Structure 1
Amino acid sequence: MPHLLLIQCPDERGLIYKITGMLYARGLNILRNSEFVEREGSLFFMRTEFELAHAHDAAPLLAELRAALPATADVRLTDNRKKNIVLLVTKEHHCLSELLVRHAFNELNTNILAVISNHEVLGGLTRQFGLPFHYLPHEGRSQAAHEAELLAQLASYAPDLVVLAKYMRILSPAFVAPYANQLINIHHSFLPAFVGASPYAHAYARGVKKIGATAHFVNEEPDQGPIIAQSVIPIDHTRSARELAQAGRDVEKLVLARALQLVLDEQVFVHRNKTVIFA
Structure 2
Amino acid sequence: MEEYILLIDTEDAKGLVYNISKVLFANNLNIEQNSEYVDKETNKFFMRSVITGNISKNILLKELTEVLPKNAEIKLNKKAKKDVVILATKESHVLGDLLIRYIDGELNANIKAVIANHEDLRDLVEKFDIPFTCISADGMSREDHEDKVIQRINDYEPEVIVLAKYMRILTPKFVETFPKKVLNIHHSFLPAFIGANPYKQAHKRGVKIIGATAHYVTNDLDEGPIIFQDVVNVDHTYSWEDMRKAGRNVEKIVLSNAFQLLLDDKVFVHGNQTVIL
Residue 180 of structure 2 corresponds to residue 181 of structure 1 = yes
Give 1:160's aligned residue: 159
Shift of 1:111: 0.4
Residue 111 of structure 2 corresponds to residue 105 of structure 1 = no
CA distance in 1, matches of 2:191, 2:22: 42
How many residue pairs match? The answer is 276
Task: Give the direction of change, closer, same or farther, for the CA distance of 1:44–1:156 in structure 2 (3 Å limit).
Answer: same
Letter in 1 for 2:249: D
Give 1:256's aligned residue: 255
Letter in 2 for 1:99: L
Asked whether the 8 Å contact 1:191–1:213 carries over to 2, the reply is no
Asked whether the 8 Å contact 1:190–1:231 carries over to 2, the reply is no
Give 2:20's aligned residue: 19
Give 2:169's aligned residue: 170
Spell out, residue by residue over 1:183-209, the C-alpha distance to the aligned partner (whole angstroms, 9 max, x if none).
Answer: 000112266665666432332232121
Shift of 1:26: 2.8
Give 2:209's aligned residue: 210
CA distance in 1, matches of 2:270, 2:252: 26
SS in 2 for 1:202: helix
Task: Give the direction of change, closer, same or farther, for the CA distance of 1:193–1:24 in structure 2 (3 Å limit).
Answer: farther
Give 2:113's aligned residue: 114
Asked whether the 8 Å contact 2:160–2:182 carries over to 1, the reply is yes
Spell out, residue by residue over 1:156-186, the C-alpha distance to the aligned partner (whole angstroms, 9 max, x if none).
Answer: 1111111000101111112211111100001
Give 1:71's aligned residue: 70
Asked whether the 8 Å contact 2:3–2:51 carries over to 1, the reply is yes
CA distance in 1, matches of 2:178, 2:201: 31
Asked whether the 8 Å contact 2:84–2:112 carries over to 1, the reply is yes
Structure 1 stretch displaced more, 83-92 or 182-191: 182-191
TM-score, structure 1 as length reference: 0.95
Asked whether the 8 Å contact 1:35–1:45 carries over to 2, the reply is yes
CA distance in 1, matches of 2:27, 2:139: 61
CA distance in 1, matches of 2:104, 2:38: 37
Give 1:145's aligned residue: 144
Unaligned stretches of 5+ residues in structure 2: none
Give 1:265's aligned residue: 264
CA distance in 2, matches of 1:41, 1:81: 32
Letter in 2 for 1:214: T
Identical aligned residues as a percent? 49
Letter in 2 for 1:143: R
Letter in 2 for 1:45: F
Asked whether the 8 Å contact 1:189–1:199 carries over to 2, the reply is no
SS in 1 for 2:237: coil
Unaligned stretches of 5+ residues in structure 1: none
Asked whether the 8 Å contact 1:195–1:223 carries over to 2, the reply is no
Give 2:35's aligned residue: 34
Asked whether the 8 Å contact 1:37–1:43 carries over to 2, the reply is yes
TM-score, structure 2 as length reference: 0.95
